Structure 1
Amino acid sequence: MATADSTPFSTFEIPPTRRHVETIDFMLSRPALALLPESLRPAARGFLAYLATLPGSAPHVCPVCDSRAIHLAMPAGTRGMRRDSYLCRDCRKRFTVLTGTPLRLLRSEEKWKPWMSYRFQGFSQELIANFLGISNKASMTWSRAFLKAMADYDTELHAWWQAHQSTEISELTEEAARALAECQAMLAGLRATSDRRCPHCGSASVQVITSRRATEYQCHGCQRRYSNLTETPLSHLQHIELWPDYVRHLVLGYHDTELEQIFDLSKPLTNLWRQRFLQLLQARWPLLAHWTLWQWSRRRANPGNVPLA
């Protein structure tokens, strides 16, 4: 399957903030189907191929009576026809390859596959509309039509994808759940792990200093002190005991307003934590960062009440 266009975001004619540019470039650099369960990726590739090839294909039966006695009645371009028109010899009905499908009223078919590929990659309908130069109304119409077409193409893919379009908290894929467990274990072990080399001189000859926060060290080589957080995105952050639970809520897509209430954080601190943890996830667990950005974007329009943790 051809992935979504990996063109740098800077080539799109949209004036976002610098952080927005960096976020979108990160998502564009990820595999197009990384968010989907591995078992559903073949079906997703097939659906993208279906969207790309269907408009140029020829029907095999009449969509009205299922008769195979059909023939080309009017080629595309004749009398302004956009697609080949066929005639059924049995029921005498005229139709095109899209007649009877959810895609029958859509235009710009060359953009169908890129639109759905970007959607699988976690981008919002509004942003994809800017990418492809279509209106927001058209993007919403395509979303509904493609969802119906997906139900006809593969019921399992449709069920998973539809469940992950609501504003409710969604289940992680097995791959993302494993990465989250690994990330939480690392965060929980920051106060106990005591084998970090000096980040300044690389020396392994250190003295471990007891600390209520992340383990601290005294380097015997350069005599500098450091901790398990030194020169990491989490350096200088407080409340280390909250981090494993916080990263779980972050990955599941909880909105900043919800995180403030759950963890009793101020708005500036919540914003700082989100930025720092996303930096950590992008560097060590990119799938979790990708999932976080997708879920947060999907739920940000209507965070609602704080769900039970």
Structure 2
Amino acid sequence: MSNTEAHPAELRCGALENGVPAADVEILTARDVPLGGPRAMTVRRTLPQRARTLIGAWCFADHYGPDEVSGSGGMNVAPHPHTGLQTVSWLFSGLIEHRDSLGSHALVRPGEVNLMTGGRGISHSEVSTPDTTVLHGVQLWVALPEEHRDTAPDFRHHVPVPVELDGAEVRVFLGSLAGDTSPVGTFTPLLGAEVTLAAGAAVTLDVDPGFEHGVLVDSGDVRVDDTAVRPAELAYTAPGRRTLTLRNEAPGAARLLLLGGPPFTEEIVMWWNFVGRSHEDVARAREDWTTGTRFGEVHGYDGAPLPAPELPNLPLKPRGRAR
């Protein structure tokens, strides 16, 4: 998915720590971001934000729907570029057609992960299919470490097999959890999983103590340990814990995404759809997109590519990992 804000903020993220320990469970609230146009769908963005810009290498999280496509117009994101990151698409309902400059043509389906590596440069489009009536899902970005940020672009697809626990079901799309491991490769250790909880159910999961974690609640009355997390909120937990207890106090099922990874200590610069290490990196990527170099072409999309916004004139303001 593209960041289609007309004036995207330029963020310098990571590496800068102020030495203040995080709360045991820190709640991050989302802001609404329209994806362009008068009938465009609106997403709820929990990463990046001023309070916290990264969870592991996870650097961007958009949560959207359930949207009636007849009212919102669905998703129609024209070809746009990416550098220095991986995109992770995960749906709860609906279908999205993916096309990219590698020639990949695939459907994003509920319960199946599509991971695209931007690396040194890729472009793609995303369009909800004509038969989609309700669109509901999450779009996530992962920052690539310095040694891999110029890697060759790539596209992968995986269908996780559900892991049944007492009162819970887990689908692991990246990393390892609940005895299952995803075969999809990443360039830093990561965890990405969908967890559904039956009414009144609780589950205690073994987690990597070297990871920080984020719990993005989609639905239900969820508690992370003893902290209530409302739908569309993202709960953050710092490294050091070996277990994470998730409880659903709602009369119906609850659903959430569990994200994690070791703290990403490199400083990155994020602007529009680019992750670099300096203002010059993103300015060069913007110029290459504008002049039609580096990013290839997306075939089969009916319409023009997205134009790049204007770069900000102000110098970068360093922004740390946490308050």
User: TM-score category by the smaller chain?
Assistant: under 0.3
Using CA pairs below 8 Å that are at least 6 residues apart, which structure has the higher relative contact order?
Answer: 2
TM-score by length of 2: 0.23
Query: Max radius of gyration: which structure?
Result: 1
Name the structure where strand makes up a greater proportion of residues: 2
Name the structure where helix makes up a greater proportion of residues: 1
TM-score by length of 1: 0.23
